[in-house]
Chain A
Amino acid sequence: MALAKRIIPCLDCEKGRVVKGVKFLDIRDAGDPVEVSKRYSDAGADEITFLDITASHEGRDTTVHTVEAIASQVFIPLTVGGGIRTLDDIRTMLNAGADKVGINTAAVSNPEFVREAAERFGSQCIVVAVDAKQVSNGGEESKWEIFTHGGRNPTGLDAIDWVKRMVDYGAGEILLTSMDRDGTKIGFDLVLTKAVSNAVSVPIIASGGVGNLQHLVDGVIEGEADAVLAASIFHFQEYSIQEAKAYMADNGIEVRQ
């Protein structure tokens, strides 16, 4: 017996609806987040990640209500990310029923925030989300840089150094998104995923680029990810969670069935 690798559908939500951008543009509607979460949970999803991409403050209240509604009906772990900037934001989301919060931009602008958050709420609920983009050229040793604001803003931070620092500050898990792969459906950046997974002691969720079930398998076996996250292949019902789990199990990966 062993710990199962996790499949995590991701709900990118704006103003209370699930959307999924391709390279963060061209948003399509994929439904009501409570219904979608319930459907995924019933189908055997191991966790739900809810990413709030609503920019405005009015939208934040909608998000809190949505999180409350999901947490009242879905009894698997729920991570909420997007716009988490203060200890109060974290408390609000945990009180609404989130089990973990994802911190991205706020960690870059104030790394101490991650330390304070982990000390106050415990590392188990602090997920640091990083958006990494390859900056090395072919033939060079691979290097990735951290970007913020949906991939628009470079930070100058080396991705490997950054995740090590975040774990040192108390991050309990890393949600790693390859900006080069996000929305492409050509698979995870496996070199990046493996480099990050080997650099730190905590679990890694691979994200960005899933287009088929083999990509999930590759993320675990070659990328050494502890969990795999995908959105569009599940939202638009190209594959079901059950199919994904069966495929992973057939490839020798321990999954919860």
Chain B
Amino acid sequence: MNKIAVIDYGMGNLHSVAKAVEFVGSQSGDDVAVIVTSDAQKIANADRVIFPGVGAIRDCMAEILRLDVDKIVGDAIRCKPVLAICVGMQALMLRSEENAGVVCLGFVQGEVRYFGDELKDEGGERLKVPHMGWNEVNQVRAHPLWQDVPDNSRFYFVHSYYVYTDKQEMVTGVTNYGTDIVASLADDNIFATQFHPEKSQHAGLTLLRNFLRWDGTS
């Protein structure tokens, strides 16, 4: 039995990620049990942990701290594979520019920046913010979670802030939207994505399948 805990701290649509993981488990014939919970003990007992997040970072961080999810995530990071998605990824960083500046969990080196109001593409055309829709992800580093995912596959993004890190060796995927941004990164047993694998059809489901089988090493 492969026990997957999706951390629930009241922010956003956890049904999607839980359903996607269940679907992938049933498709691949693996014995997968998914629980959506904020219970520290259940998360401690899980084999793998998914840390999702949508919405404003200030509200996410407030709920994370109120429900002691910071400690739960910290414990998970010490010992098992963790997949952080979207604002879940951003919450792992040191700080975010959103909401006039929010201190984040600081488990991963880097910060969260705003795209800016005057974002333009290479041809000088205005780009809409949020970055919403399907964009290509260049796999800049090999990783077990990329197995069977063709390079430059499109994944579904929806965000106005993006992760910046000086530790380029962590970056596994890059996408371009006016500027090169971190689409995904890996830091030991953490894999984090700015895009939503649970909403990215074949490419996303393949990445989730790989996560279900990942031992946390690269």
Contacts and interface: CB of A to CB of B under 8 A. Distances in A.
A71 B196 CA distance: 14
Interface in B132-173: 132-136, 138, 152, 154, 156-160
Interface of A: 1-6, 41, 46, 68, 71-73, 75-77, 94-99, 119-125, 172-173, 201-203, 226-227, 256
Select the residue from A5, A41, A123 with max chain B CB neighbours within 10 A: A123
Contact of A3 (B22, B23, B134, B204): B134
Interface string B101-142: 000000000000000010001000001111111111010000
Contacts of B152: 1
23 contacts: A3-B131, A3-B135, A41-B201, A71-B15, A72-B23, A73-B23, A75-B198, A75-B204, A76-B156, A76-B199, A95-B13, A97-B13, A97-B15, A99-B13, A119-B56, A122-B55, A124-B158, A124-B159, A201-B128, A201-B129, A202-B129, A203-B130, A226-B128
Contact of A256 (B22, B127, B134): B134
Contact of B130 (A73, A96, A99, A124): A124
Select the residue from A5, A98, A124, A172 with max chain B CB neighbours within 10 A: A124
Contacts of B130: 123-124, 172, 202-203
Interface of B: 12-13, 15-16, 19-20, 22-23, 54-56, 59, 117, 121, 127-136, 138, 152, 154, 156-160, 175-177, 196, 198-201, 204-205
B142 to A, nearest CB: 20
Contacts, number: 108
Given A4-B135, A68-B15, A75-B199, 19 more contacts: A1-B136, A1-B152, A1-B175, A1-B176, A2-B121, A2-B176, A3-B133, A3-B135, A76-B199, A76-B200, A76-B201, A77-B199, A94-B12, A97-B16, A119-B56, A120-B59, A125-B12, A202-B129, A202-B130
